[in-house]
Structure 1
Amino acid sequence: MGTCADTNISSDLESNTTGVTTFSMPGWQLALWATAYLILVLVAVMGNATVIWIILAHQRMRTVTNYFIVNLAVADLCMAAFNAVFNFVYASHNIWYFGRAFCYFQNLFPVTAMFVSIYSMTAIAADRYMAIVHPFQPRLSAPGTRAVIAGIWLVALALAFPQCFYSTIIMDQGATKCVVAWPEDNDGKILLLYHLTVIALIYFLPLVVMFVAYSIIGLTLWRHTVPGYDAHGANRHYLQAKKKFVKTMVLVVVTFAICWLPYHLYFILGNFQEDIYCHKFIQQVYLALFWLAMSSTMYNPIIYCCLNRRFRSGFRIAFRCCPWVTPTEEDKIELTHTPSLSRRVNQCHTKETLFINGGDVASSEATSGQAGDPQHGVPAES
């Protein structure tokens, strides 16, 4: 990112460099920003940790789709716990207090976590696309799901590695800085190309893929007949559950896109007009844009809780120690009891299990040659 002789603030995903600054923030203003970031971190960490517990602690919740939701929650939790806290301190003081090793980590992890988050959403969109548009095609097995998750993390680390590799600690007029010392690039084209590539891969490309996938899913669910199902009886409730889950995930994706767009535009603009970092108001602008971007890590648990009955039951059980939360027997049944009705459809070596419990019908899980596998036949919509 650009630097300014006496004023600059820039950091995090694309470069994490900060030059000398004369920014000083009144104590009350710093306290307000610290409170805003503290609330964000607490909600994100507690919410995502609860989502992880709800899925992993209950056999009924362990599905291919929900494992990707766990992966998304892990990335969001770590992003809030590490990047949001330490980058806020760096941005508000413009001094790096955390040593060389954490400087490497801080330039590696944000890109990695964001890549994992958005590609977990992309994997969910692909899984729902196969389940709804091609319900009789083979689906991901449990080992296949683990392989996809591992692949997402490995590619994410590879994408973030150059920024970590060139990270270093410098002293700039008596202040310690965590910077990315890129190789000689007189015209800045290499740096610009890397930044634009990262933004394309961790934002624009997966959003286009998900837009196409959910558009086709929407047309299939709302305008056409889903292959293998009629519009009456149990199937009608089942299709309604599919629609509800798709709406939930579309809201998750749209929220992510809105939260991160201003932040990415800020850094794209900075690559073409470096003097924006010299304006005195840029510190407040950056802190606001960074808070908005980091706030994407706390919305998903809220969305799940509001729109999904089983997650809502899980949250009530998890927070039963709070005096205003009273879990019911129905909440325990939602997460622990075997559903009351199941239907298996075998075609082309494919098994699809549908569960109907009360009025809330969960999405199907179709797998190839997985008869008797406890990993499957568990509601994905849950």
Structure 2
Amino acid sequence: MDDDDFLSDLPPAPAPGPSPNSTGEEPAWWGPSSDGGDAVYLAVRCVMTSVYILIITVGLLGNITLVKIFITNSAMRSVPNIFISSLAAGDLLLLVTCVPVDAFRFFSEEWVFGEAACKLIPVIQLTSVGVSVFTLTALSADRYKAIVNPMDIQTSSAVFWTCLKAVSIWILSILLAVPEAVFSQVVVMQGHRDNTNVTFVNCVPYPLSNQMHPKIHSVMIFLVYFLIPLAIISVYYYHIARTLIKSAHDMPGEVSEHTKRQMETRKRLAKIVLVFVGLFALCWFPNHVLYMYRSFNYHQMDLSLAHMVITLLARVLSFSSSCVNPFALYLLSESFRRHFNSQLRCGRGQRPERQPSYLHSTSHIRLTSIKKATPAAAIIPPAANGSSNRQEVAL
């Protein structure tokens, strides 16, 4: 059997990376040349194009503003925020490269970007996914260290070492994505439409002659970029939850106001990271499952309307993961919300509203000084670890 004979029997190939594609042989209801297909084709094109434009616009606005806040405000340059900024940078990379290319497939039935883009786009996409999941794992480890081992003193070089970790995550993600460039290739494929043979150019993520490659590829993608990192994160959060429950029972009746505030801040940060992890899992799980399903049923491709709808929803969910984190941070962090509103000039130049804890502490100092009791400086005890305290209150 030569290559042409093999390709003529193939169903549509999955797209590069963890996002399945469906270009190729299409179902009877799809395409402008089929009966009744004009309306469906036009509706899907308009709806998906609008959704992709919305994802790109909202994602760029949220992530660029997030990175700008962390860069321009020295008080926000903390260990968790450095990781979150790296997370936003990975999302931006995906939004400006992979999303527009994927949207273009609704205007062309074949790959038109050439061999170089066929190798580069999968690398960018997988790098972005790697940066996201590995950074979330590093954030969970940071929250574990802050809550389970709170007495570990953070040195003045903590920010430097965190930046080094973030850069290392990017390098690791790029290296793991290199095989995508090695195996991705542009091929000429044959399919059937309206009982006629059609020839088209497609970008495939692995050699079509090796039937085991797609199965190995999809399983490895699922393990390395989803299951294993989430299992590690689950272990971290199990110990975090156990420590918080134990500390709630063991905490003495009278503790300093500073200790209470520090514990609440650490719990809030742990909650934010957990929400990020949950959103990532929710957005990417359907796509991973769909990709494995297609890889293991490569010669029995489901061409039904239901399968196409599920495919489109999975793609929208996966790309939506690049724009949801700023929204989550806006809802969960009052400090970030104030800075975000300030960046968008929602406050019209008004002074940012002070934190309730800050108002309480200053009124407490003022009242104490009137009563001529202990000095104001003694009202709020200094943190046992001043550097660590600054790291925690940034959000």
Q: Same fold (TM over 0.5)?
A: yes
Which residue of 75, 87, 91 maps to 1:76?
91
Looking at secondary structure, tell me which structure has more helix per residue.
2
Partner of 2:351: 329
CA distance in 1, matches of 2:382, 2:284: 42
The whole-number CA distance in structure 2 between the counterparts of 1:278 and 1:5 is: 15
Alignment of 1:86-105 (within 5 A): 86-90=101-105, 93-105=108-120
* Matching of residue 194 in structure 1 with residue 217 in structure 2: yes
Unaligned runs of 5+ residues in structure 2 are 1-5, 32-39, 190-197, 363-379
Q: Are residues 1:253 and 2:277 paired?
A: yes
Does the Cα contact within 8 Å between 2:94 and 2:322 map onto a contact in 1? yes
**1:164 maps to which residue?**
181
> Aligned to 2:146, which of 128, 131, 137?
131
Inter-partner Cα distance in structure 1 for 2:322 and 2:169: 18
Alpha-carbon spacing, 1:9–1:92, altered in 2? closer, same or farther (3 Å):
farther
User: What does residue 25 of structure 2 align with?
Assistant: 21
Equivalent position amino acid for 1:175 in 2: F
Is the Cα–Cα contact under 8 Å of residues 79 and 391 in structure 2 kept in the other structure? Answer: no
- The 1-side partners of 2:236 and 2:230 are apart by 10
Alignment of 1:275-290 (within 5 A): 275=299, 277-281=301-305, 282-290=307-315
SS at match of 1:274: coil
CA distance in 2, matches of 1:191, 1:227: 53
- Quote the sequence identity (%): 21
User: Could you report, residue by residue, the CA deviation over 1:295-320 in whole angstroms, capped at 9, with x for unpaired residues?
Assistant: 11111100111110111011101111
Counterparts in 2 of 1:184 and 1:343: CA distance versus 1, 3 Å: farther
Show CA shifts across 1:244-270 (max 9, x none).
221121111111111111111111111
| 1:61 paired to 2:86 | no
Offset from partner CA, 1:135-159 (integer Å, 9 cap, x none):
2225472332222112211221121
Is 1:203 matched up with 2:226?
yes
Structure showing greater Rg: 2
1:151 aligns to what?
168
Cα gap change, 1:330 to 1:227, in 2 (>3 Å): farther
How far did 1:42 drift?
Answer: 0.9
TM-score normalized by the length of structure 2: 0.78
Which residue number corresponds to residue 324 of structure 2? Answer: 299
Structure 1: which amino acid aligns with 2:98? N
**2:291 maps to what in 1?**
267
Cα separation, 2, equivalents of 1:380 and 1:13? 38
CA contact 1:263–1:293 (8 Å) conserved in 2: yes
Q: Distance in 2 between matches of 1:164 and 1:81?
A: 19
Q: CA deviation at 1:56?
A: 1.0
**Residue number in structure 2 paired with 1:45:** 60
Structure 2 Cα separation of the partners of residues 40 and 15 of structure 1: 16
Q: Greater CA deviation, 47-56 or 227-236?
A: 227-236
The residue type paired with residue 17 of structure 2 is L
- Rounded to whole Å, the distance in 2 between the matches of 1:235 and 1:55 is 26
- The secondary structure found in structure 1 opposite 2:247 is coil
Q: How many residues align?
A: 346
| AA aligned opposite 1:144 | W
1:8: which partner in 2?
12
* Greater fraction of residues in strand: 1
**Whole-angstrom CA distance in 1 between matches of 2:218 and 2:162:** 30
**Who is 1:343 aligned against?**
382
Partner of 2:337: 312
Deviating more after overlay: 309-318 vs 92-101: 92-101
Q: Is the 8 A contact 2:188 2:199 kept in 1?
A: yes
1:4 Cα deviation (Å)?
Answer: 8.0
- Could you tell me how far apart the structure 2 residues matched to 1:94 and 1:116 are? 30
Q: Is the 8 A contact 1:122 1:209 kept in 2?
A: yes
Structure 2 distance, partners of 1:262, 1:310, is 33
Question: Do the aligned residues in 1 keep the contact of 2:12 with 2:22 (CA within 8 Å)?
Answer: yes
Counterparts of 1:128 and 1:3 in 2: how far apart (Å)?
50
Summarize the Cα distance change of 1:353–1:28 in structure 2 as closer, same or farther, 3 Å threshold.
same
Superposed displacement of residue 91, structure 1: 5.8
Question: Partner of 2:386 in structure 1?
Answer: 353
Q: Distance in 1 between matches of 2:224 and 2:350?
A: 44
**Structure 1 position 175, deviation (Å):** 2.4
Cα displacement (A) at 1:242: 1.5
Taking the TM superposition and a 5 Å limit, the aligned residue runs for 1:233-248 are 233-248=257-272
Contact 2:45 2:106 in 1 (8 A): no
- Call closer, same or farther: CA 1:178–1:241 in 2, change over 3 Å: same
CA distance in 2 between counterparts of 1:254 and 1:89 reads: 29
Q: Which amino acid aligns with 1:152?
A: I
Distance 1:88 1:342, change over 3 A: farther
TM-score of the two chains, using structure 1 as the length reference: 0.81
